[in-house]
Amino acid sequence: GGDGITIRVSTLDHYVEEKNIQKIDLVKIDVEGFEQRVIAGSVNTLQRFKPKLFIEINNDNLKEQGNSARALIQQLLNFGYQIKRADTNEKIAADFDFDNCHFDVIAVHEQDPILLLWPS
């Protein structure tokens, strides 16, 4: 191997606190299977701001990291998010067939008034 590079890694919760961020409307998460770790490091931010989430769901990548699309979706549902596929507007629930899935989802918190405009 070659010489590696060192990068600083932080959680969203730590970054929000460190930078004294007062508002977050949207969070995009595309981290090649590490989505559940990002969510785990964002608990306070999600509970405080209830931002809309745009997340890539790739069950193969998630499985490589010891996770699963089903567990990720359940985690978001537990936080009070409603979830739809970004490309088809299909509602995603915990019983969705996640085998070989690879698509983006939009998650909106159940308290977000934009849900009134979200087609069923």
Quick one: which of 83, 84, 80, 18 has its CA closest to 49?
80
Element (H, E) at 111: none
Token code pair at residue 107: 């998650």
Task: Provide the greatest CA pair distance for the chain.
Answer: 53
Instruction: Give the pLDDT confidence of 47-70 residue by residue, as tens digits.
Output: 999 999 999 999 999 999 999 999
**Torsion sign across C-alpha atoms 23, 115, 29, 76:** positive
Asked if 47 contacts 80 with a C-beta cutoff of 8 angstroms, the reply is no
pLDDT of 8-46, one tens digit each?
Answer: 889 999 999 999 999 999 999 999 999 999 999 999 999
pTM score of the predicted model: 0.91
User: Cβ–Cβ contacts within 10 Å for residue 13, how many?
Assistant: 17
- For residue 1, the model assigns a pLDDT of 61
Residue 3 phi/psi, 5° resolution? -75, 130
